[in-house]
């Protein structure tokens, strides 16, 4: 056993013996299918805290020759798979944490330091097969394979740290990518190369240096979806085990949407919440608002408006294909939004190509980032939203209209009212604080149309449901009548109790007091 060549299985052993361990060993069955195929080059990118390093420790324990891991996998999902016995501890694993090499290089080339460290262990194990030792890593591996037939599995953690931490050094990035290409591409000794990081494979010039990799990112996780984070069923089981409220867990940490798993949760935050028995913003334990603020403050046309729309509960269209997969070269606002998807600050609907703020935890991060200059008007709206909700619950239509006037005035330079949809976005922003106790739903299908905005109380809340209908250059009373006529309240399946019907009209010709509001109560049996 070594540090890089066939490390021990201690990391995975610690994971399965932890107080909370969620079985993700089914991932191994997926990688077993890729061994020695054209698809054996895999780059899986996810945000921080999404279990990337945990997956590598598991793969190292399963594949590595260094020790017998059979007992560690006893009773886990992979043990029931037909491929389990065939590949268990059958390969030489080379485990590389690029972050450690970047730090340890201390002024030297990262690749030079990496080769020195890995070659020392390789030569100790296989030096007797070689006539010469003064060769590079790729040459040594080719010789070992030719002499012994031994195949290698490469597990590379934090593969993109050079792109993230040396953002402006294009030359260093190119040299690093060329090193990886030479080490891995078209090499017969590679049985599997599994890389993880936050960013997909870096592009430069007309092609990618690592174009042999199949990419699985937050814009498309492919058949790795189930292993991207915690699924809804897994979180429900944890909430039951720790006697925690699932609705609150969902409100705080759900929202990462994948094709076959529309509810993916941040694993680290769920584990923290269960162990501490509190729903809080745990994102700040690994990152501060400084990580988000430089990007939302970038001066790209339409970026600020899109951020405000998403704060208001809206989704925005994003073209993710122009992104260069680094943190330095931004050409349009879509590049910034795509980076925020990869960093986990935005969720992404790949079918509709839309981005959105996924949950309460991330909303708090945006609030923290905006509170430090540059977003004064928006922050005033957010702070006033508590009073707006109180006035709504008191059925004070006049004060609600006044509050909406103020909110509109504050964000008028960012958001322009031109139809009911833009009005709905502003309403969502103005009622920002309601999300503590409500799930906000835009355009709720009712069977006879769509209710513009619905605030459905979370199970732990004792507040009434709120149905908001919006009109542009008509009347607030017309909005109320539409709610009743089209029976929008019947769409609140499973809800019984008090409902507030809120009709809002915006009169574009009334410059001083453009909003009018009417509020009525009703009870749903």
- Positive or negative: CA dihedral 501, 505, 506, 512: negative
Is 482 in the same domain as 520? yes
Task: State whether residue 502 is helix, strand or coil.
Answer: strand
Report the candidate in 253, 271, 246 with the shortest Cα–Cα distance to residue 458.
246
Please list the pLDDT of the chain residue by residue as tens digits (525 residues).
Answer: 789 999 999 999 999 999 999 999 999 999 999 999 999 999 999 998 898 999 999 999 999 997 899 999 999 999 999 999 999 999 999 999 999 998 888 878 899 999 999 999 999 999 998 888 888 999 999 999 999 999 999 999 999 998 888 877 888 888 899 999 999 999 999 999 999 999 988 665 545 678 899 999 999 999 899 999 999 999 999 999 999 999 899 999 999 999 999 999 999 999 999 999 999 999 876 665 678 889 999 989 889 999 998 998 889 999 998 888 778 788 899 999 999 999 999 999 999 999 999 999 999 999 989 988 789 989 999 999 999 999 999 999 999 999 999 988 888 778 777 666 777 788 888 999 888 888 888 887 776 777 888 898 988 788 999 999 999 889 999 999 998 888 888 878 777 889 999 999 998 888 888 999 999 998 877
For the beta carbon of residue 163, count every other beta carbon within 10 angstroms. 23
- Whether 109 and 23 share a structural domain: yes
Q: Is residue 221 part of a domain?
A: no
Specify the pLDDT at position 473: 87
- What lies within 8 Å, CB to CB, of 168 at 6+ separation is 328
Whole-number pLDDT of residue 166: 85
| Helix residue ranges, H only, 137-195 | 137-148, 161-165, 170-184
Among the candidates 216, 251, 279, a domain finishes at 216
Q: What is the pLDDT of residue 169?
A: 82
At which residue do the structure tokens 């990035």 appear?
Answer: 173
Among 153, 188, 216, the domain-final residue is: 216
The 3-state secondary structure of 53-112, one letter per residue: HHHHHHHHHHHECCCCCHHHHCCCHHHHCCCHHHHCCCEEEEEEEHHHHHHHCCCCCHHH
Give a yes or no: residue 4 inside a domain. Answer: no
Question: What pLDDT, on a 0 to 100 scale, did the predictor assign at position 203?
Answer: 62
Is 163 inside any structural domain? yes
The verdict on 38 and 180 lying in the same domain is yes
Range of the domain at 330: 230-370
pLDDT for 287 equals 63
**Do 406 and 345 share a structural domain?**
no
CA dist 160 and 325 (Å) reads 9
C-alpha 173/C-alpha 111 separation (Å) is 11
Tokens of 116: 């020195």
Using one digit for the tens of pLDDT, what is the confidence trace for 108-140? 889 999 999 999 999 999 999 888 888 899 999
Q: Are residues 291 and 323 in the same domain?
A: yes
**Residue 225: inside a domain:** no
- Between strands 152-157 and 214-216, the pairing is unpaired
pTM of the model: 0.91
Give the pLDDT score at 319: 94
**Do residues 357 and 381 both lie within one domain?**
no
Q: Among residues 12, 183, 26, which one has the least CA distance to residue 101? A: 183
pLDDT at 233: 97
Position 224 in a domain: no
Look at residue 109 in the predicted model and tell me its pLDDT. Answer: 85
Edge-to-edge order in the sheet of strand 41-45: 92-97, 152-157, 190-197, 41-45, 214-216
pLDDT value of position 206: 46
In degrees, to the nearest 5, what angle opens at C-alpha 147 toward C-alphas 141 and 151? 50
Q: Is residue 444 part of a domain?
A: yes
Q: Say yes or no: 148 and 263 in one domain.
A: no
Which of 328, 354, 370 represents a domain boundary (last residue)?
370
**Contact predicate 330/300, CB 8 Å:** yes
Number of domains in the chain: 3
Task: Confirm whether 155 is domain-assigned.
Answer: yes
The pLDDT assigned to 170 comes to 81
Same domain, 420 and 447: yes
- Do 301 and 197 sit in the same domain of this protein? no
353, 452: one domain: no
Rounded to an integer, what distance in angstroms lies between the CA atom of residue 326 and that of residue 176? 14
Within-domain flag for 223: no
Helix or strand (DSSP H, E) at 320: none
What pLDDT is stored for residue 130 in this prediction?
Answer: 87
Contact assessment for residue 482 and residue 457, using Cβ atoms and an 8 Å cutoff: no
Residue 239 shares a structural domain with residue 311 = yes
* 178 and 139 together in one domain: yes
pLDDT of residue 493: 73
Q: Do residues 301 and 336 lie in contact, with contact meaning Cβ atoms separated by under 8 Å?
A: no
**Residue 76 has which token pair?**
């886990």
Sign, Cα dihedral of 77, 78, 82, 84: negative
Q: Which helix (H) or strand (E) holds 425?
A: helix 420-430
């Amino acid at each position: 056993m070594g540090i890089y060549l066939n490390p021990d299985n201690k990391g995975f052993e610690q994971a399965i013996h932890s107080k909370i361990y969620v079985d993700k060993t089914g991932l191994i069955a997926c990688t077993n299918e890729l061994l020695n195929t054209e698809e054996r080059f895999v780059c899986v990118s996810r945000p921080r805290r999404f279990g990337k390093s945990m997956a590598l420790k598991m793969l190292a324990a399963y594949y590595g020759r260094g020790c017998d891991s059979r007992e560690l996998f006893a009773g886990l999902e992979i043990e029931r798979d037909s491929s389990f016995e065939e590949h268990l501890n059958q390969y030489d694993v080379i485990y590389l944490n690029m972050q450690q090499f970047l730090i340890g290089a201390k002024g030297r080339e990262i690749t030079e330091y990496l080769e020195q460290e890995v070659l020392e262990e390789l030569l100790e194990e296989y030096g007797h097969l070689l006539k010469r030792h003064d060769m590079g890593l790729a040459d040594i591996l080719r010789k070992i394979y030719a002499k012994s037939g031994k195949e290698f599995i490469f597990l590379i953690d934090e593969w993109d740290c050079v792109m993230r931490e040396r953002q402006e050094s294009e030359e260093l990035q190119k040299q690093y990518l060329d090193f990886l290409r030479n080490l891995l591409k078209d090499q017969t000794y590679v049985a599997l190369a599994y890389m993880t990081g936050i960013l997909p494979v870096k592009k430069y010039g007309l092609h990618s240096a690592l174009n042999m990799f199949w990419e699985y990112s937050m814009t498309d996780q492919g058949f790795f979806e189930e292993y991207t984070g915690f699924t809804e069923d897994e979180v429900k089981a944890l909430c039951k085990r720790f006697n925690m409220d699932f609705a609150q867990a969902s409100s705080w940490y759900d929202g990462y949407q994948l094709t076959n798993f529309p509810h993916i949760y941040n694993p680290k935050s769920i584990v923290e919440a269960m162990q501490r028995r509190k729903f809080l913003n745990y994102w700040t334990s690994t990152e501060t608002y400084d990580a988000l603020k430089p990007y939302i403050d970038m001066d790209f046309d339409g970026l600020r408006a899109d951020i405000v729309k998403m704060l208001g509960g809206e989704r925005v269209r994003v073209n993710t294909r122009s992104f260069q997969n680094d943190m330095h070269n931004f050409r349009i606002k879509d590049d910034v939004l795509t980076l925020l998807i990869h960093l986990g600050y935005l969720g992404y609907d790949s079918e509709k190509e839309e981005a959105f703020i996924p949950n309460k935890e991330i909303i708090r991060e945006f609030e923290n980032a905006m509170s430090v200059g540059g977003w004064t008007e928006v922050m005033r709206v957010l702070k006033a939203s508590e009073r707006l909700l109180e006035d709504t619950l008191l059925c004070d239509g006049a004060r609600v209209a006044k509050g909406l006037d103020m909110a509109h005035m504050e964000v008028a330079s960012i958001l322009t009212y031109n139809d009911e949809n833009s009005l709905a976005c502003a309403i969502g922003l103005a009622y920002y604080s309601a999300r503590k106790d409500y799930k906000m739903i835009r355009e709720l299908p009712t069977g006879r149309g769509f209710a513009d905005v619905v605030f459905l109380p979370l199970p732990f809340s004792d507040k009434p449901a709120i149905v908001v209908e919006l009109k542009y250059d008509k009347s607030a009373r017309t909005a109320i009548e539409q709610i009743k006529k089209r029976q929008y309240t019947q769409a609140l399946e499973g809800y019984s109790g008090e409902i507030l019907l809120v009709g809002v009209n915006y009169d574009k010709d009334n410059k001083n007091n453009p909003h009018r509001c009417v509020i009525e109560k009703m009870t749903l049996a």
